[in-house]
Amino acid sequence: MGMDKAKKDELLKKLAQGVVEFEDDEVRDAAQEWVDTGEDTYDAIFEGLVAGMEEVGRLFSAQEYFVPEMLMAADSLYIGLDILKPHMIPRDSGVKGTVVIGTVQGDVHDIGKNIVKMMFDVAGFNVFDLGRDVPLEDFLKKQLETNSDIVCLSAMMTTTMMGMPKVIEMIRQKNPNCKIMIGGAPITDDIVGKFGADATAKDASNALEEAVKMIVSLRDIQREAQANKG
């Protein structure tokens, strides 16, 4: 059982490259080959598939890749993930959180939301996806039900982002500690301030980074609260 470093590197490269070039077959074969060795698939997911997706994110920021390329890469990633995930030995990565995500009512676009959701999924977050055209009060309901650390709201157009401040206000009233991220084409840092959200991100990789920062700060607050009690 197991594999030598050269083989491992070769498969990691195939997984990453396969995602970047959306070569579904290459990803499928490399993932299966890895599983067949009997080795833990944690590295295959994070140093293979996710590393590939990070490169896709870089190409997207550099405007070499666009939305269709991103979608194709995400499909390849999921093909690999479906094969690898059942064989991953769960571990405590330190930062794990619960996220409620959805596209606000009036907006039926969910591609950007789905890509962000994928990043959370692979990073080990517990994700509750409400879908698209989500009635505003449903975000609050789900947040209270799951006690999620983060709520992510998506809107594609100026004409549909106006539901966001209402959701933010509802959640702030009931649970001021919950972090709120907003995203989509019309969202700027200026809008984040005006709507009273906590953050936005220019793409899915940055969204994940922001989310991890939020979880870390939430954990700090919880630890402090715990310490004060003691």
Partner 1 sequence: MTNNTMTARERVLRTLKGEKVTPVPCFSGVGNVTTKGLDKLGYRFADLHNDAKKMAEAGMSTWELFGYECVVIPFDLCMEAEALGCVMNPYAETNELLYPTIKEKSKLTSEQLRQAATPELLTKGRIPMIIEAARLVREKVGDKVAIGSYVLGPFTLGGQINELEPLLKGALKKPDEMLEYLDAMADVIILVANHLLKNGIDYVSVREMGATSDVLSPRVFKKVIFPSLKKVADKVASPTILHICGSVLPVIDMMAECGFDALSIDSKTPMKEARAKVGEKTVILGNFNPFAALNTGSADEAYNIAAQCVKDGVNGVHPGCDIWPTAKPENIEAMIRAVRETSI
Residues near partner 1 (CB under 8 A) are 63, 65-69, 71-72, 75, 105-109, 111, 133, 135-136, 157-160, 162-163, 166, 185-186, 190-191, 194
Rank residues 104 and 178 by Cβ distance to partner 1 and give the closer one. Answer: 104
In the complex with partner 1, which residue's Cβ is closer, 28 or 213? 28
Q: How far is the CB of 71 from partner 1 (least distance, A)?
A: 6
User: In the complex with partner 1, which residue's Cβ is closer, 13 or 58?
Assistant: 58
CB of 61 to partner 1, least distance (A): 12
We find the least distance from the C-beta atom of residue 64 to partner 1, in angstroms, to be 8
Handedness of CA 218, 220, 222, 228 (dihedral sign): negative
Number of Cβ within a 10 Å radius of residue 165: 17
- Closer to partner 1 by Cβ: residue 2 or 193: 193
Q: State the nearest-atom distance from the C-beta of 217 to partner 1, in Å.
A: 27
Looking at the Cβ atoms of 34 and 78, the one nearer to partner 1 is 78
6 vs 62 by CB, closer to partner 1: 62
Could you tell me the smallest distance in angstroms from the CB atom of residue 166 to partner 1?
8
CB 194 → partner 1: shortest distance, Å?
A: 6
